[in-house]
Structure formats: structure tokens, C-alpha cells
Amino acid sequence: MQKSIKVLIVDDHQMFLDGLSSILVGDEQVEVVGVLTDARAVIDTLKDAPVDVVVTDVSMPHMDGIQLNAELKKRNIQAKVLVLTTHNDPDIIQKLIKGGVDGYLLKNAEKNELLTAIKTVATGGKHFSQEVQKKYTESLFSSATTSSTVQTALSKREKEILHLIVEEFTAQEIAEKLFISQHTVNTHRKNLLSKLGVKNTAGLVKQTILKGLLK
């Protein structure tokens, strides 16, 4: 692949902007076509020059990454959106995924991961860093804040077990991990199937991951 990937960087921190672009220019496949400190300018910029990937911070004044992504998708703009952030907030991740963002990773990600992410989304793929994925699925079980008047009243134990099911553990393995009987795990599993109104493991996992998106 020799075609260069046109990247537009958006971040309100100049220092980060510099660091990021210096990393990107070192890659022969990537071409930084512009850097902006205000997300509101992105729309205008895109009118003039085509861009393959917009790399942006999630938290910025005036217009944050979520809004920016929403704007771009709303206007049916081709450019892919890759969001960077310092924090790993499940709510934000949820909004981004819901908004159809193409990738998401932490600012402390390695150079390689960033480049991989850019190339992945540029070719139509999705890239969510492992940490983000993990945190996100974890957050689906956290009994902490979030609230949002969650419909499924899953107990703490049920969430715990659902979490492990999603992590591909068998009932036996879960039983060993939690120091309980396999019977108990299966009972919880039965209740989960019933509560979530799904038929099998596939439904449990699907529901678990998509739950936040459906509402």
C-alpha cells in the first residue's frame, strides 16, 4: 500500500498536537494534512480538502470529540474518526460507540498502536484498544454510578458471573474462581437467561455488550 492516509489532527493542547504530528510524520503511509485546536473548524476544513482520518481528543472546549463525531456522521462525511483520550470513562466510550466512532484509544497508547489504529480505520476497520474494551465490558457490570435508570436489575453476583461468561469461562471455571459450587453458577446463569430474556450464551454476550447502545 503506497497511498498515503490523509490525517487531520484536532486537539486543544498545542503540545500534544506537536507530539502527535511528529509521530505521524515518521510513518510513510500517513500524511498529516492539517492540525486544528478547535473542533468547530473541522467542518470547514473538510470542505476544502479530503481527509481520510480525523484524530481528535475527546475532551475539548467548545466542541468535544463526541459532538464532533456526531456532526461528522450527521453530515455523512466520509472521514473516519479516531478518538483519543486520557481517561477511560465508560460513559464516554458508550456514547462514542453509539455515535458510530471508528476507533478509540488512550493517549498513553504506544506509537505502534496509534499507527495501527489509523491504518485500520482508514481501511474501513474499527479499532478499540484492549484496555478500552476491557474497561468498557467491565463497566457494564459495575454497580457504581452510571445509574441511567438501568432496566436490568442484575444483582452483584449475577453481574460478576455474567462478566466471566463473557470472558469465555465455563461454569466450572467460574465456580473455581469464585469458590462456589458449579450448581450455583448454573443457577445464576439460568436466572440471567431469564432476566435478560435471551436464549443462550450468545444472547447473554450480545445483550451485555450492546445493552448500553440500545438505549
Partner DNA sequence: ACTGAGCTCACTAAAAATAGTGATTCTTTT
Partner DNA sequence: AAAAGAATCACTATTTTTAGTGAGCTCAGT
Q: Does 180 bind DNA (CB under 7 A)?
A: yes
What span, in angstroms and rounded, lies between the C-alpha atoms of 175 and 109?
35
| Plot region of 82 (φ>0 → left; ψ -120 to 50 → alpha; else → beta) | beta
Of the residues 50, 156, 176, 213, which one makes contact with DNA according to CB under 7 A: 156
Q: Could you give the 3-state DSSP secondary structure of residue 31? A: strand
Q: With contacts defined by CB under 7 A, name the span among 3-11, 38-46, 127-135, 177-185 that binds DNA.
A: 177-185
Residue with cell 469458590: 179
C-alpha torsion 25→70→68→135, nearest 10: -70
Spatial CA neighbour of 135 closest among 68, 90, 72:
90
- Restricted to residues 95-124, the positions that interact with DNA (CB under 7 A) are 95
Residue 57 pairs with which residues in a beta bridge? 84
148 binds DNA (CB under 7 A): no
Binding mask of the shown chain, residues 175 to 214, with x at each position contacting a second copy by CB under 8 A = -----------------------xxxxxxxxx--xxxx--
Closer CB to a second copy, 1 or 15, in the complex: 1
Task: State the binding partner of 2 from DNA, a second copy, none, CB within 5 to 8 A by kind.
Answer: none
Least Å distance between CB 156 and a second copy? 18
**By CB under 8 A, is residue 116 in contact with a second copy?**
yes
